[in-house]
Amino acid sequence: MTEQIAITRAISPAMANCELAYRERTELDIALARVQHHRYEATLAKLGCTIVSLPAEPALPDSVFVEDAAVVTDEIAAITRPGATSRRAETASIAAALKPWRRLVFIEAPGTLDGGDVLRIGRRLWVGLSGRSNEVGASQLAAALAPFDYRVQTVPVRGCLHLKSAAARVGPETLLINPDWVDKTFFDGLRFLETAPQEPHGANALYVGGAVVYPASCARTCERLERAGITVHNVDVSEIEKAEGGVTCCSLIFSAPDG
């Protein structure tokens, strides 16, 4: 089987100063965040990923959320231009980490793009138009992927940070979705599972190694996943959730070339 690489980055000591868009700021326990992040990495390793762990960036509060700094397909790595200006410096070290693996392309001003807004299933790609990613960023990504036969479409999202706050892959062709934040109509041909009404943040799930890494905070939605026959690995990410993060955002997962 093709080796899966997962790039992660240690929690920044400045994480308490993170960006917040829809969540209220509450006290964040950095020591506990580190423990939770290590357990998250251990879960990815158990599911077959080789972890490439980057050192913490003390000056960049949100730098643990490596997903936002790049979009990696089998062919290229698009280094993003994050929507939050405080996050733009995160991309330099991610570009350096991805350079051995992929040809790099760069999203440029006035384009903005956060990886959390990019959902990929096979050769289909959806780009959320959110407070962080704009049409220009989406079309630059589509242009970079044009030679490789992807179908790229934009999707408006409302009420949440990113597209993958509202919908994420939980099976070969299944989406876990909060229909209040994104419309199902954009995802023709897919099967849907809905988040439990009490758990609006429950759509962010990480599909890897044929299983789903899923936050312990969303027990009701978790039951729905298990009832649908999905294997779930629960992780407690309470401190990451306080920074408006979830399980997809703490890693960049891609295939290593064979051989």
Residues tagged active-site: 162, 249
**Residue 214 binds ligand CIR (CB under 6 A):** no
What residues from 32 to 71 belong to the interface with ligand CIR (CB under 6 A)? Answer: 62, 65, 67-68
Taking residue 14's Cβ as centre, other Cβ atoms within 10 Å add up to: 16
Q: Minimum Å distance from CB 87 to ligand CIR?
A: 6
Q: How many whole angstroms separate alpha carbon 44 and alpha carbon 149?
A: 29
How many residues lie near ligand CIR (CB under 6 A)? 18
Asked whether the beta carbons of 207 and 167 are under 8 A apart, the reply is: no
CA dist., res. 221 & res. 97, Å (int): 35
3-class SS of residue 65: coil
Instruction: Identify the residue among 5, 18, 69, 145 touching ligand CIR (CB under 6 A).
Output: 18
243 forms part of the interface with ligand CIR (CB under 6 A): yes
Site string for ligand CIR, 115-154 (x = CB under 6 A): -x--------------------------------------
Answer whether 241's CB lies under 8 Å from 28's CB: no
Q: Which residues make beta-bridge pairs with 193?
A: 176
Q: Give dist(CA 249, CA 9) in Å, integer.
A: 11
The answer to whether residue 236 forms part of the interface with ligand CIR (CB under 6 A) is no
Residue 36 to residue 116: CA distance in whole angstroms: 20
Binds ligand CIR by CB under 6 A, chosen from 203, 245, 251, 253: 245
Q: Which residue is nearest to ligand CIR (CB)?
A: 116
Query: Binding string to ligand CIR for residues 157 to 176, with x set by CB under 6 A, is what?
Result: ----xx--------------
Instruction: Give CA–CA dist 69/67, Å, rounded.
Output: 6
Given the rule CB under 6 A, which residues bind ligand CIR? Answer: 18-19, 21, 62, 65, 67-68, 84, 87, 116, 161-162, 243-246, 248-249
